[in-house]
Copies of this chain bind each other. A is one copy, B any other.
């Protein structure tokens, strides 16, 4: 960097904010004007599988690129990335973390688009990003539960809404018909009017997508040492109850983090 008389503009005005230690860091990435973007590119309603699979592919690339992301959860045009509690990624500098995540995600979205959609972009896709810190396992799990409850409520509404629209109602009439309805009313509407059991809808629509490193047993070829490998996995399941977290304690636990990052662990055969 040039050591000129103008350098004071950096020294006196640029501040680096560092996120507090011992907190999980969530980066939430959210599509900008994706309502219009989804119409321009003829996304299917209420859910477009290609669009969701593209988002999931981007999230997978994020976990491949940034080893300190331990979990990601996506729904619709948003994705949350959880950095491990003790990450020292760019010394926890806030602007670095936001900008690198949103830039890398955006770039992968552009590059992988053609793997999922037949035509070029009609409009430039872009995303906003924000960062939030959670100081303990309860709050980070509640964050993910919050996003999944949101997913459920929005998807149930949208499933009804588009069923009504496809059946001939205007969008205004569809909104009107759903106003003030509760969850069980919507399920009844789907069942009675459209013979749709909401719980039979694809899990990816109802539960969103979770991305994490799963422990996979590798073929041992008769070797007395068994290996487990960590494979990045995309799946749709319940995040609100304790089951998943109890079976995958290494994800939010820090005890295993050094081993996890080795990406390969050995266990003695019993």
Binds B, one of A2-10, A41-49, A208-216: A2-10
Contact B2 A154 (CB under 8 A): yes
Binds B, one of A101-109, A173-181, A185-193, A223-231: A101-109
> A17 to chain B: which residues have CB within 8 Å?
15
Bound: A21/B134 CA distance, A:
9
Of chain B, the residue at the smallest CB distance from A32 is B100
Bound: A12/B103 CA distance, A:
27
Contact A132 B14 (CB under 8 A): yes
Bound: A61/B153 CA distance, A:
37
> A245 to chain B: which residues have CB within 8 Å?
none
Binds B, one of A144-152, A159-167, A196-204, A262-270: A144-152
Contact A146 B18 (CB under 8 A): no
- A138 CB, min distance to chain B CBs, angstroms: 8
Bound: A100/B106 CA distance, A:
10
Interface string of A119-145 (1 = CB under 8 A from B): 001001111111111111001001101
Contacts A96-B128, A107-B110, A131-B95; is A13 near B2 (CB within 8 Å)?
A: no
Bound: A95/B20 CA distance, A:
17
- A19 CB, min distance to chain B CBs, angstroms: 10
Instruction: Report which of B9, B110, B128 forms a contact with A143, defined as CB distance below 8 A.
Output: B9
Bound: A128/B133 CA distance, A:
20
> A4 to chain B: which residues have CB within 8 Å?
145-146, 149-150, 153
Contact A146 B103 (CB under 8 A): no
Instruction: Report which of B110, B130, B146, B154 forms a contact with A7, defined as CB distance below 8 A.
Output: B146
Contact B103 A129 (CB under 8 A): yes
Interface string of A55-78 (1 = CB under 8 A from B): 000000100010000000000000
Contact B146 A2 (CB under 8 A): yes
- A247 CB, min distance to chain B CBs, angstroms: 21
Q: Is A22 an interface residue (CB 8 A)?
A: yes
Contact A142 B9 (CB under 8 A): yes
Contact B132 A13 (CB under 8 A): yes
Instruction: Report which of B29, B65, B133 forms a contact with A13, defined as CB distance below 8 A.
Output: B133
Q: Is A221 an interface residue (CB 8 A)?
A: no
Closest 8 CB pairs of A and B: A135-B135, A6-B146, A99-B129, A110-B110, A12-B21, A103-B126, A2-B150, A4-B149
Q: List 9 A-B contacts (CB under 8 A).
A: A2-B153, A6-B149, A13-B22, A15-B20, A95-B130, A98-B129, A103-B103, A103-B127, A106-B107
